[in-house]
């Protein structure tokens, strides 16, 4: 459990890691939490010492072993351990065993191509080796901030990231039996020693013990790369609407993913929508207040499929669900990597008759003034506009039903034009960078993206 301590109670006593806290007339000893981070899942592993100081290994025998390298492999459906690169000597690794690997070397322990501080514990679960890194919260954060943001970014942005990451990490403590948090974007990225820099250490140290709270409790301090203009309310993405995770204007217009384009040929669409045998049309049924896709309907040669925006993003590997759909002339996407933008909204429709082209031009001049309803069942590709207004939902436009447009799965690719990267909820990292460049400090940044929060110090009790 963690007790939040008002910042004015700390004064000159310093950080919670090196002192005691005077609160309500009592002294409370402070202890840094230990994070359990899942850093690897594999069927074979290799650990090695960084220099002359050996690895210290517990769990193979009754004694602590001192080795330079340790390998674990799977052979004949069993896991085996090899020490010091001796190819002819392997020990059995019982399924229920646990190895504890540590080192007195300040440079850490090599696991594959990365180094880690603290202890590495190895378990066998579900037919795989799982490596969990145990280390103090503040050491963990130095790597997280360096993994999530470039070291060259303004100090205010780095400090904001440190506080958000600390709050998020503490929220994950004890939720799982084997580990607290993963090392990937599923939680927050943690890449070990190589992500640590002097500038990052400075940002973490300067914000030591600071967390974000709402009504005296730690918040769910989620963050993402770039929202594309407006962050998203948590209730539009997940089940619960949190009072501090509401939609706010972003400052990410300089982000490299503020606008993006991705294109798919029929073969790729068949793989993405295998249940329907590919894609004939895709129709946006519901969007959030910021224009993010919540539900779509996919029609293909072999059936119909309704998907959430999250599932659509996963299948098409989109940067975000803030996207619209268009058709473009067929090209084999496997032969080129760079995606191009169409010259206009209707590029790629030159194969329709002159009569239909004339109808299309007349319809375009009406500036999409026809009545459009998501409930209508037109076998056409849906185009959704993405206005930058909050909170009015953006309209969903459809092509006029009288135009006999060709089916996408025969002669056309699907072109997706989108904005932002990530789920869009909470702090935008590129937005934090933008605010910092404009002179905002870390408090202003955090209070902009997390509405109504209080920044406090915390202690373990």
Give the residue from 75, 95, 126 where a domain finishes.
126
| CB-neighbour burial class of residue 455 (10 A; exposed 0-12, middle 13-18, buried 19+) | middle
Residues 64, 110, single domain; the answer is: yes
Q: Which residues pair with 376 in a beta bridge?
A: none
Structure tokens that stand for 352 in this block = 């329709």
Number of domains in the chain: 3
Least confident of 66-80, 83-97, 283-297, 342-356: 342-356
Instruction: Give the domain range for residue 202.
Output: 139-250+425-460
Instruction: Tell whether 9 is covered by a domain.
Output: no
Q: Which residue has the higher pLDDT, 308 or 372?
A: 308
Q: Where among 92, 126, 160 does a domain terminate?
A: 126
Name which of 160, 151, 111, 104 is nearest 133 in CA terms: 111
The C-alpha atoms of residue 204 and residue 161 are separated, in whole angstroms, by 9
Cis peptide bond N-terminal to 386, omega within 30: no
Residues 108 and 184 in one domain: no
* pLDDT above 60 (res 357): no
pTM greater than 0.95 (yes/no): no
State pLDDT tens for residues 52-77: 899 999 988 778 999 999 999 998 88
Number of residues in the chain: 461
* Predicted confidence band of residue 22 (pLDDT cuts 50, 70, 90): very low
Name the helix (H) or strand (E) containing 114. strand 114-116
Retrieve residue 341's tokens: 């933008």
- Within 57-189, where are the H helices? 137-148, 155-172
Distance, C-alpha 386 to centroid of its chain: 23
Residues 407 and 290 placed together within one structural domain of the fold: yes
Of 263, 226, 282, nearest to 396 (Cα)? 282
In a domain, 285, yes or no: yes
Residue at 35 is within a domain: no
Name the token pair of 113.
């191509």
Are the beta carbons of 37 and 132 closer than 8 angstroms? yes
Same domain? For 411 and 440 the reply is no
Q: What is the crossing angle of helices 155-172 and 198-206, to 10°?
A: 70
Query: 413 with 429, same domain?
Result: no
Question: What average pLDDT does this structure show over 333-348?
Answer: 42
List, for residues 139-181, the tens digit of each pLDDT value.
999 999 999 999 999 999 999 999 999 999 999 999 999 999 9
Residue 97, Cβ density class (10 Å: 0-12 exposed, 13-18 middle, ≥19 buried) = middle
pLDDT value at residue 308: 95
With a cut of 70, say whether residue 282 has pLDDT above it: yes
Please tell me whether residues 232 and 267 are part of one structural domain.
Answer: no
Q: Specify the pLDDT at position 410.
A: 58
274 shares its domain with 384: yes
Each residue's pLDDT tens digit, 387-439: 334 444 443 334 333 334 345 555 788 899 999 999 999 999 999 999 999 99
Q: Are residues 364 and 441 in the same domain?
A: no
In a domain, 8, yes or no: no
Q: Please report the pLDDT score of residue 93 as a whole number.
A: 84
Count other C-beta atoms under 10 Å from residue 451's C-beta: 14
Q: Which segments of 274-403 are extended strands (E)?
A: 281-287, 293-300, 303-308, 323-329, 382-384, 396-398
Q: Give, for 373, the enclosing helix (H) or strand (E).
A: none
Rounded-to-integer distance, Cα 19 and Cα 246, Å: 37
Q: Which two tokens stand for residue 7?
A: 């910042």
The answer on pLDDT for 445 being more than 70 is yes
383 lies in some domain: yes
Residue range 43-48: average pLDDT?
95
Q: Tell whether 191 is covered by a domain.
A: yes
Q: Do 305 and 333 fall within a single domain? A: yes
Do 224 and 349 lie in one domain? The reply is no
Residue 375 has pLDDT above 60, yes or no: no
- What SS3 class is residue 128? strand
- For position 28, what pLDDT does the model report? 38
pLDDT at 183: 95
114 and 60, same domain (yes or no): yes
CA distances 123 to 43, 49, 101, 178, 220, Å, are 11, 20, 12, 9, 29
Give the burial class of 354: count Cβ atoms within 10 A of its Cβ; 0-12 exposed, 13-18 middle, 19 or more buried.
exposed
Q: What pLDDT is recorded for position 4?
A: 58
- 229 and 164 in a single domain? The answer is yes
| Residue 22 forms part of a structural domain | no
319: left (phi over 0), alpha (psi -120 to 50) or beta: alpha
Average pLDDT, the chain: 80
Q: Which two tokens stand for residue 181?
A: 């948090």
Q: Does residue 234 sit within a domain?
A: yes
Mean pLDDT of 280-292: 91
């Amino acid at each position: 459990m963690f007790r939040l301590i008002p910042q004015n109670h700390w004064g000159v006593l310093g950080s919670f890691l090196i002192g005691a806290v005077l609160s309500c007339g009592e002294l409370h000893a402070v202890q840094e939490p230990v994070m359990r981070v899942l850093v690897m899942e594999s069927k074979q592993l290799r650990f090695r010492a960084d220099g002359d100081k050996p690895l210290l290994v517990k769990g193979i025998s009754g004694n602590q072993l001192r080795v330079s390298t340790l390998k674990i492999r799977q052979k004949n459906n069993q896991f085996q351990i090899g020490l010091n690169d001796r190819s002819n000597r392997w020990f059995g690794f019982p399924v229920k065993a646990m190895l504890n690997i540590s080192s007195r070397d300040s440079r850490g322990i090599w696991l594959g191509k990365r180094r880690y501080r603290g202890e590495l514990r190895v378990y066998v679960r579900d037919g795989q080796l799982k490596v969990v890194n145990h280390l103090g919260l503040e050491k963990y954060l130095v790597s997280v901030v360096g993994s999530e943001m470039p070291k060259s970014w303004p100090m205010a942005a780095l400090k904001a990231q440190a506080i958000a990451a600390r709050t998020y990490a503490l929220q994950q403590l004890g939720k799982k039996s084997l580990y607290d948090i993963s090392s990937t974007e599923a939680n927050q990225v943690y890449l070990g020693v190589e992500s640590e820099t002097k500038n990052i250490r400075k940002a973490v140290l300067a914000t030591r013990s600071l967390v974000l709270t709402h009504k005296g409790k730690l918040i769910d301090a989620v963050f993402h790369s770039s929202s594309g203009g407006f962050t998203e309310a948590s209730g539009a993405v997940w089940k619960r609407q949190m009072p501090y995770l509401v939609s706010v204007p972003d400052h990410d217009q300089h982000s490299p993913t503020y606008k993006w384009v991705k294109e798919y040929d029929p073969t790729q669409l068949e793989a993405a929508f295998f249940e329907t045998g590919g894609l004939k049309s895709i129709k946006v049924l519901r969007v959030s207040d910021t224009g993010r896709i919540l539900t779509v309907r996919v029609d293909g040669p072999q059936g119909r499929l309704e998907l959430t925006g999250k599932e659509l993003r996963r299948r098409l590997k989109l940067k975000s669900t803030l996207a619209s759909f268009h058709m473009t002339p067929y090209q084999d996407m496997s032969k080129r990597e760079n995606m191009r933008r169409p010259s206009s909204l209707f590029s790629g429709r030159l194969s329709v008759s002159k009569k239909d082209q004339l109808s299309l031009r007349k319809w375009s001049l009406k500036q999409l003034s026809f009545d459009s309803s998501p409930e209508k069942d037109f076998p056409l590709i849906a185009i959704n506009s993405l206005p930058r207004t909050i909170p009015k939902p953006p309209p969903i436009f459809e092509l006029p039903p009288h135009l006999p447009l060709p089916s996408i799965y025969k002669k056309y690719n699907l072109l997706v034009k989108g904005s932002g990267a990530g789920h869009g909820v909470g702090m935008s990292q590129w937005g934090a960078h933008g605010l910092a460049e404009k002179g905002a400090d870390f408090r202003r940044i955090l209070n902009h993206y997390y509405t109504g929060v209080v920044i406090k110090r915390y202690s373990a009790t």
